[in-house]
Amino acid sequence: MDFTIEKGATVLDVKHQFTDMFNGLKLELFKKAHEEGQSSSAKMRVFGTESISDLTNNALPQKLQINADMTVAEVETAFEEQAGLHVQVFRKMRNIWIETVQTDNYSLAKQMEISLSSTSS
């Protein structure tokens, strides 16, 4: 699937687009990258109406190929390498959002399945 980050897009636009594509998952954007297998610092989280163009030196619009068969690690790497954005995928578990750090090797499809099964119990 094409994930397009338009010129003029905000952090919320990107977050909503991801959640619309991948039910039970969300993206959080950060000012700095995290190490593989590590959490991102909450102090570095970017909220709301900030413009994506303020967070990246990459030209916009930017089109990424993101699909449910990709692992979380692959998705995070694609955002980093292609769009210059530092992201972390979160999964909804019951009523809370958790970072997928321990399951970065799971596909987005698997993450969505886990999220769905946690809310239907």
- Encode burial over 33-51: b for 16+ CB neighbours within 10 A, e otherwise: ebeeeeebeeeeebeeeee
Q: Using alpha carbons only, how large is the chain's radius of gyration in Å?
A: 14
At 1 the pLDDT is: 85
Share of the chain above pLDDT 70, in %: 92
* Count of all residues that appear for the chain in the document: 121
User: Model's pTM, two decimal places?
Assistant: 0.89
At 39 the pLDDT is: 63
At 45 the pLDDT is: 84
Give which of 80, 67, 57, 62 is closest to 22, Cα–Cα.
67
